[in-house]
A and B are shown apart, each in its own frame.
Chain A
Amino acid sequence: MNPLSSTVLHLDTVTRIHGEGATEVRALREVSFRVAAGELVAVMGPSGSGKSTLLTMAGGLDAPTSGTVSVEGVDLATLGNAGRARMRRTSVGYVFQDFNLIPALSAVENVALPMELDGVRSRAARAAARAALEEVGIPELADRFPDHMSGGQQQRVAIARAVVGERRLILADEPTGALDSETGEEILRLLRARCDAGAAGVLVTHEARHAAWADRVVFLRDGVVVDETGADPADVLLESRR
């Protein structure tokens, strides 16, 4: 795997400052890192260290105060709001800790949402959504509404939505935070499988056990990357930090 040749996400000296003067908060300070296709990168760090902020930068939901964020070689700053929205519809998938799904839409509709928003015909979008649900192993839940699903099932649907179509970048912010460990492992297995199939993934997590699924781990503290494991197995690195 050559990370340089197929970089999907590239953050270059990204800084994000909230507020001004006395209330200024530096959520990220000159953070740089790359994620290549087929790679799953775990981001770890204490609460308030800027992990979620990093993900919102990567998905173009928020813009850095300085530095550049590129997805598939395109600088998000040059895209404009509409372009970034299109990118989220077609290239980036998000999975959050909980409340990932729109309660008024059934599972298959939730998965089809980005395609429908992109103007894909409803039938084609649903077909793709059913395929994605099949991939995450819950085809039978397609017509259920989120209110009638367990947390783990909801997260599977969320992952199906994050991968539906030809998504190249999956951003997951503590996707297992609200689940028991066994269910959490299954979710991570799904993410891992998706990355093995060629997508790039960023996984924010608290748990070292989950970071083991990743190819690499990035440590944040107070908005700064304090450590980064190379191609080393994650647990070796974790051991050394303790």
Chain B
Amino acid sequence: MSSWRLAIRLARRDALRARGRSILVLVMIALPVLAVTAADVVIQTQEVTGVEALDRRLGTADAQVTVPAEGRPMVQRFDPMDGATTVGGKPDPPTEAEISAALGGARLVEERVGSVSYATDKGIGYVEVTEVDLRDPVADGLFELTSGRLPETAGEVVVNDAVLDSGYALGDTLDLGRQNPAPTIVGIADSASLRTAPTAAGPIGSLGLDARNGASPGWLAEGGPVSWDAVEALNTMGALVLSRAVIEDPPPASEIPEELNWDSGDDSMVAAVALIVVMALLEVVLLAGPAFAVTARRQARSLALMSATGGTPAQSRRVVLAGGLVLGGAAAVLGVVLGIGAGWLLLPVVQRWSSHWFGPFDVPWPHVAGIAMFGLASAVLAAVVPAWIAARQDVVAVLAGRRADRPPSVRSPILGVVLLGIGVAMAAYGAAAGSGSGEFLIAGSAIVAVLGMILVVPVVVAGVARAAGRLPLSTRYAARDAARHRTRTVPAIAAVAATVAGVVTLGIGLSSDEAENEGTYTPSLAMGQAAVTGYDLRPAAWDELARVVDRELPGATVTPMTGVGGEDWVDLQEPGGSAPLLDEMSVGFGSSMLVGRSVPDLVPGIAAADRERAAAVLADGGVVAFTDHDVAGDEIELMAGERGTTIRVPAAYVRFQDDTYPTLAAVASPEAVERLGVDVGTVAVAVAGADVSTEQEQDVTEAVAAVNPNAGFYVERGYQAEENTRIVQFVLAALGAILMLGGTLTATFLALSDARPDLATLSAVGASPRRRRSIAASYALVVGFVGALLGAAVGFIPGIAITYPLTAPAYTDTGPYLDVPWALIVGLVVGLPLLTAAIVGLCTRARLPMVARLD
């Protein structure tokens, strides 16, 4: 203990003496701690936990009882929202009186919760509604009235600003559709839990909630705490209970019914978090490593003096480790304090983006302690290797003023190569295992491979130095210097490499996933075409829809499509054959059999020659049948669903091209359907000849929904890369660039300060001040380039492996898709190192130190 005290005193003083380096380490460790703490505070605060949410859900009630129509007996977890199901399914739900009796005569206030559609200024929207007597004290806290008054009769409601924004004002009537009540808006009130979604509340019956729109009968109960036993009793009767007493002071977990006792701690989630923590730790350790390496070297003489006065290697080691403790501890405290502050400042900003009201400000202390430990651990870990090397330094050499790292050991690169091999094997095994366990094996392989790579870096650096013989002076000097001072060069290169490896892995995964999406995309319509589809629509509705589209899209050709409909359908059979013509299909145009003289243009995947063949047969009163295999015949049997009529007509069999997923079984000529005697009507509206913009699409969609909620509008634009993917790719590249820049810059400037005496010698022999710049830039180039190259190579191992579980799911025969984002990789390996070198060159003071100062 006392020797730690000495070590910490030394470390603290050294940290204060080398202020620049200390601040660097502080920032590098405090920043991630700060970011994670702030994020955690925001997440914990916005997450409304069980107890915090109770008042929002219960008002002042002791319990909320609902009777879902599932039947009795039921089982539930402590909070029925977390899980509940029926285990018997017998009907006859409990009555209000029975529930009250089961709660010891508690007073029950009826409450219904659900959502209904309402008319907005753009068409139809949905509003979350609560029917309860808001004036009853038990409902206090469910809604907060901001203006107007609370509803008093069943013809009055309060709504929130979101409803007003969709075209209503205080005093208006809320339009809930023809068959529903039309209550008057008498006040504006915010729901305690929903923030941005439209909400409305009023007495029972005011908003038309009943079994039709899925609302179950429910009550707020007041009459003393409701025990878990009482909850179970009500479960038996077929009711679910949210009890304040149970949530605030839950019974032992063994009380959770077996049927619902799933493991809430998701294993894969834990594994994923563990992986992220390990990778982040590795990155921070590698980034901070060079600073500790330089610090340890600056302490070399002090440590040698300590040895000369009888210090043991363990004591030397402790001094360097104590540096990690002091800086890591300070960074952890700083990061946590600033992080909590930043979280607090961020809350109002984040709240604006969220649809829910946040809970009270919540600092998750156990998490925060863990994050602080992470900061401390990363600093101590970053100091481990420098400490170990410092303890083994050649005391006599240091005292005599000679300095250089020991020659690289042979053992560690061999271990590195072995680890790389294990990484490759794990990745291959994970790729073969497919999704499920594969991802974790592959993620593990990434860590193993990166660790292996770190052990190989010294050899590579030594190789680069040896190969640098013919390079210009600055580059040669930088390469040799990098190799001579491996303790600071290796972690810097490794940090860059680990970053690049991560980015390359994720990049390959992302773009391969994207390639899969594109490869497996099946268009619903021919490219550029649009259609209105719908179900359960009357002919008048179709006319109205066609008119609306015509109005919204002037210049477009709007054609109603006819097809077999109503109660009728038609079975198709190749004469003499028994196999179905199509193994699978999805109805794309309201009916599997369209009626007309041609195959509509908007049906995708039909060759031009097939269309001509089809038109000829249809002119003949025949039928075009779609198949997924070659059928040679020229006749087909048609059977009209329940009517039983069977006829035989000329036929053209047509296959969909290019794996187009079948959206249609047949097109029949009007004569053929007439002979069958089936009902024919409009089943969809084809829209052609209009270059529909996204805004127009939005307008048509709203207009169409306003005509009938069962109708929809779709424009085929081919495969659209998801916006998210592109954003993620950009963020990845940016993050990689920042980390790489940070790693290279810190390593370079540390190297410059470390190389002071050498630079002084250079200046003494007449090097121009610009030389310092070019040496710095060269050093950055060596670090960045070697790191990026190694990292990219290592990143391919898990990168390629991950495409197997990602893009070749077990149940399909497609994939795996592999798409290497070469632009990203070339940018990382060539572009970024050059950019960093340029930045370093520009930022370096072009002044050589005139004196070699030792300290």
Contact = CB atoms under 8 A, between A and B. Distances in A.
B6 A102 contact: no
Contact of A86 (B6, B14, B310): B310
B402 to A, nearest CB: 12
Nearest to A100: B305
A92 to B, nearest CB: 8
B309 A105 contact: no
B308 A88 contact: yes
Interface string A211-232: 0000000000000000000000
A16 to B, nearest CB: 11
A72 B854 CA distance: 36
Contact of A94 (B2, B308, B854): B308
A109 B5 CA distance: 13
Contacts of A121: 2
Contact of B3 (A93, A100, A103, A117): A117
B10 interface: yes
B306 A113 contact: yes
Interface of B: 2-3, 5-6, 9-10, 13-14, 17, 301-302, 305-313, 315, 395-396, 399-400, 854-855
Interface in A77-136: 81-82, 85-90, 92-94, 96, 99-105, 109, 113-114, 116-119, 121-122
A116 B17 contact: no
A89 B309 contact: yes
B310 A85 contact: yes
A161 interface: yes
The 3 A-B pairs at the shortest CB distance, nearest first, are namely A89-B310, A88-B310, A104-B13
Contacts of A88: 307-310
Contact of A117 (B6, B13, B14): B6
Contact of A59 (B9, B301, B308): B308
A62 interface: yes
A32 interface: no
Contact of A103 (B2, B17, B399): B17
8 contacts: A61-B308, A82-B312, A90-B310, A100-B305, A104-B9, A109-B9, A118-B310, A121-B2
A56 B307 CA distance: 12
A117 B306 contact: yes
Contacts of A105: 9-10, 13
A168 to B, nearest CB: 14
A13 interface: no
A52 interface: yes
A56 B399 CA distance: 10
Nearest to B14: A104
Contacts of B854: 99
Given A90-B310, A103-B855, 12 more contacts: A56-B399, A61-B399, A86-B310, A88-B308, A89-B310, A103-B17, A109-B9, A114-B310, A116-B6, A117-B311, A118-B310, A122-B2
Contacts of A82: 312
A62 B301 CA distance: 17
A104 B302 contact: yes
A102 B312 contact: no
A56 B400 CA distance: 11
Given A87-B310, A88-B310, A104 B3 contact: no
Contacts of A100: 305
A92 B396 CA distance: 16
A62 B854 CA distance: 24
Nearest to B395: A61
Contact of A113 (B14, B309, B399): B309
B302 A117 contact: no
A94 B396 contact: no
Contacts of B308: 59, 61, 88, 94, 96
Interface of A: 52, 56, 59, 61-62, 81-82, 85-90, 92-94, 96, 99-105, 109, 113-114, 116-119, 121-122, 161
Interface centre among A88, A101, A105, A117 (most CB of B within 10 A): A117
A122 B5 CA distance: 10
B748 to A, nearest CB: 26
A161 B309 CA distance: 9
B2 A116 contact: yes
B18 to A, nearest CB: 10
Contacts of B315: 117
A85 B10 contact: no
A81 B314 CA distance: 12
Contacts of B312: 81-82, 85, 117
A52 B9 CA distance: 31
A76 to B, nearest CB: 13
B13 to A, nearest CB: 4
Nearest to A92: B310
Contacts of A92: 310
Nearest to A171: B308
B724 to A, nearest CB: 52
Contact of B10 (A89, A104, A122): A104
Contacts of A104: 9-10, 13-14, 17, 302
A59 B309 CA distance: 9
A92 B308 CA distance: 9
A56 B10 contact: no
B12 to A, nearest CB: 8
Nearest to B2: A119
Nearest to B298: A103
Nearest to B310: A89
Interface centre among B9, B399, B854 (most CB of A within 10 A): B399
Contacts of B17: 103-104
B21 to A, nearest CB: 14
Given A96-B399, A102-B10, A104-B17, A85 B305 contact: no
B307 A61 contact: yes
Contact of A56 (B309, B310, B396): B396
A85 B313 CA distance: 9
Nearest to A84: B310
A94 B304 CA distance: 12
A88 B310 CA distance: 4
Contacts of B5: 122
Given A104-B10, A105-B13, A117 B396 contact: no
B470 to A, nearest CB: 26
Contacts of B311: 85, 89, 113, 117
B9 to A, nearest CB: 8
B396 A102 contact: no
A62 B396 contact: yes
A171 B193 CA distance: 79
A72 to B, nearest CB: 15
A242 B10 CA distance: 49
A85 B3 CA distance: 15
Given A56-B396, A117-B6, A122-B5, A94 B13 contact: no
Nearest to A99: B301
